[in-house]
Amino acid sequence: MAFQKAVKGTALIGGGAIATVFGLSQFSQYRNKHGALVQVEAAEAALVKKDQLPTREQQILALQTSGEFDVLVIGGGATGCGCALDAATRGLKTALLERDDFSSGTSSRSTKLIHGGVRYLQKAIMKLDFEQYRMVKEALEERAHLLASAPHLSAPLPIMLPIYKWWQLPYYWVGIKLYDLVAGSQCLKSSYVLTKARALELFPMLRKDKLVGAIVYYDGTWPLAAQCCWAGPQTHHNDARMNLAIALTAARYGAATANYTEVRHLLKAPDAQSGRLRVCGVRCRDVITGKEFDVKAKCVINATGPFTDSVRKMDDQEVPNICQPSAGVHIVMPGYYSPDNMGLLDPATSDGRVIFFLPWEKMTIAGTTDSPTDVTSHPIPTEEDINFILSEVRNYLGADVEVRRGDVLAAWSGIRPLVTDPSSKDTQSISRNHVVNVSASGLVTIAGGKWTTYRAMARDTIDAAIQEHKLQAGSCRTMGLQLEGAQHWSPTLYIRLVQDYGLESEVAQHLASTYGDKAFEVAKIAQVTGKRWPIVGKRLVSEFPYIEAEVVYGVKEYARSAVDIISRRTRLAFLNVQAAEEALPRIVDIMGKELNWSEQKKKEELETAKTFLYYEMGYKVKTDQLTDSSEISLAPADIERYKKRFRMFDKDKKGFITILDVQRVLESISLQIAENSLHEILNEVDLNKNGQVELNEFLQLMSAIQKGHVSGSRLAVLMKSAEEKLRRRQPIPVDRSGGGL
């Protein structure tokens, strides 16, 4: 009876809504499609791009000498860069200031999905609310724009929704099919139902017990679980690179964009007509040189994400907060935890949240959490959040798949700038819709929103700026505008990189999918390897396709710190913190040559980057698994066995081993490993970083491996292999060889 009511209710909701939604969908599609075509034609016909990307020094000079700008944007995240691009393409004299690097905050710490607005569809249907429906349509249109504007950086990703209760199958199916209908021509691919056998074939690590089947969708999902929790549509993308592409495109269209330029305070002057003080620019500081200067502008835009209220209080100390920050933690695990081309959605976690489990850059991302937090430039993932995600992952994977704490290769926390009532504490129910606010002194603030709708947010912001400050500009031209690297990109571009330059196929594919048609510029400066193959392209780390030439090119794209390279120009820090640490010395050396760093500066950069990895990318919580001596819980026999293995290397009984001890043993078994590789191997276990591995550190390592806190260790494998080879080389006693009298 309960099932009949549920299915009947579902059918009534779905059937009754289809007629209403279909009519709205067709009209809106027709109007938006024709409007978009006009905008694309106008953009292609009227805009002029710079062939040569200005250097950062040229951009700083332009800020100092170009006189008054029409628009000055504070904030170099997706929204801020989107505002700069929108303004520049309308012919407005535009500047953008970012106190750190482009995409250094929230915009690079997403789930790596382009989320849409399906969460609003329920309200649109239940309440016949056209405004909610409009938000869904806008999200779908903006998702389509992102795919078209940078196809090398975004791709559709199918998401599997496992079904473990048979009555949920028709319930979810009706909802997802209704969403397909709303998407119309913008639906990437139609959703479909899988049998249990087919679901396990596609996602073999899925929990088999009580599995009924699954639904696969490409751009959204219906009410999740009985609580009707909703999640957004997805498209796989490289968030930091997308953000940078927007900034670079704005620069090519004439915007003076500068990272590492901090706003100290706002400038104000009396209005000629009213006599009231109006914002007329900013006092800023070049973080690289320390030099301060003023930048004048008719309109100043605050697009600082979680720091929105900080800039608003520069304008008016008494203004109430309009943003409530929420922290979202993600973890990265080895790629074997998920199929290469399909993600998984946990629709109802133990506390009512949603967890995604997704392939990304040949690894697996799991997340996210959602909890109130303080605003900080350096959010830190906690062990509690990491274990929560691992626990939820275990619920959906088979019993034969051991989800280990040590398999967490990286972790990060991002701060969502949610628009809310300051008295609210429930961040889960907060809308991600954006708000454009204009203060009495003319400061334009854009707050809230999400990655998917950055372009629409920028459009609304510049529209408000034009209206408030009576700027002379046309309509928005960014719909259909291609971003840096997209113009001549094709899915087979990487083949030319292999054929023309002699790059490895994996490296070529990476360059093409990261830089688009600018991949040729990277390939041109790639160093010769000295090998028969590949001809060019020295890797920074053997396991990843990042090459040294990307560091040089990253400097051309305004990278000014080692952190910029490991976290945003490449994604090493987000993929594997140990690999990122191993690459740091070479990265610092290359950047030092490009930027004329002193030895002291190089040392400082190395330490700063290691601190970043340690706290912000989960290295601390990873190494904490080894540092507590109470974690040694080996059986007495195991302790003796590992001590014996350790003493094979510690011949002098010092209580520790160094690289020289390891080299001596390796030479005795005719095994050669490069010295820099040995340093990296020992560094993984050398917790106090004193250049040696103590016996206690080794026992902690073996205990952590045994308990699953650490997935493995190259040193442990090396020592075990050496021990086995030494045993095989020991002379066999006569009585065991069959000889004697």
**DSSP conformation class of 152:** T
Residue 607 binned pLDDT confidence (cut-offs 50, 70, 90): very high
CA dihedral 243, 247, 248, 252 (to 10 degrees): 150
Using an 8 Å Cβ cutoff, are 378 and 616 in contact?
A: yes
Each as own residue / partner, the long-range contacts of residues 120-123 (CB below 8 Å, 24 or more positions apart, any chain) are: 121/178, 121/179, 121/182, 121/230, 122/223, 122/228, 122/230
Q: Bigger pLDDT: 398 or 599?
A: 599
Range from 78-92, 219-233, 422-436 carrying the lowest mean pLDDT: 219-233
Predicted confidence at residue 188, as pLDDT, reads 67
**CA-based nearest residue to 97, from 77, 124, 125, 111:** 77
Q: Bigger pLDDT: 37 or 316?
A: 316
| Most confident segment among 131-145, 247-261, 638-652 | 247-261
Residue 67, burial from CB neighbour count under 10 angstroms (0-12, 13-18, 19+): exposed
Q: Which helix (H) or strand (E) holds 343?
A: strand 343-346
Predicted confidence at residue 736, as pLDDT, reads 40
Residue 160 binned pLDDT confidence (cut-offs 50, 70, 90): very high
Distance between CA atoms of residues 94 and 694, nearest Å: 58
One-letter amino acid for residue 655 of the chain: G
Letter string b/e over residues 133-142, b meaning 16 or more CB atoms within 10 A of that residue's CB: bebbbbbbbb
Q: What percent of the chain has pLDDT over 70?
A: 81
**CA-based nearest residue to 590, from 546, 649, 542, 656:** 546
Average pLDDT, the chain: 83
Residue 738 binned pLDDT confidence (cut-offs 50, 70, 90): very low
Query: Is the pLDDT at 679 greater than 60, yes or no?
Result: yes
Residue 550 binned pLDDT confidence (cut-offs 50, 70, 90): very high
Domains of the chain: 47-108+240-322+429-469 (3.50.50.60), 493-623 (1.10.8.870), 635-729 (1.10.238.10)
**CA-based nearest residue to 6, from 191, 230, 226:** 226
- Find the mean pLDDT for residues 166-181: 81
One-letter amino acid for residue 137 of the chain: K
Residue position matching structure tokens 């919580």: 621
Q: Which helix (H) or strand (E) holds 514?
A: helix 505-515
Cα 671 from chain centre: 39
Residue position matching structure tokens 């274990």: 387
The model's pTM:
0.83
- At 245 the three-state DSSP class reads helix
Q: What is the pLDDT of residues 485-524, one digit of tens each?
A: 999 999 999 999 999 999 999 999 999 999 999 999 999 9
Distance between CA atoms of residues 110 and 237, nearest Å: 10
Q: What is the pLDDT of residues 308-362, one digit of tens each?
A: 999 999 999 999 988 889 999 999 999 989 888 888 888 767 766 778 889 999 9
Residue 261 binned pLDDT confidence (cut-offs 50, 70, 90): very high
Predicted confidence at residue 731, as pLDDT, reads 54
- Find the mean pLDDT for residues 253-259: 98
Residue 705 binned pLDDT confidence (cut-offs 50, 70, 90): confident
Strand-pair partners of 216: 160, 192
- Find the mean pLDDT for residues 215-241: 53
Distance between CA atoms of residues 38 and 93, nearest Å: 24
Q: Which helix (H) or strand (E) holds 422?
A: none
Residue position matching structure tokens 């700008």: 69
> Helix axis angle, 577-595 relative to 549-556, nearest 10°?
60
| Most confident segment among 11-25, 448-462, 710-724 | 448-462
Q: What is the pLDDT of residues 277-304, one digit of tens each?
A: 999 999 999 999 999 999 999 999 999 9
Residue 41, burial from CB neighbour count under 10 angstroms (0-12, 13-18, 19+): exposed
Alpha helices (H) along 47-129: 56-65, 78-89, 121-126
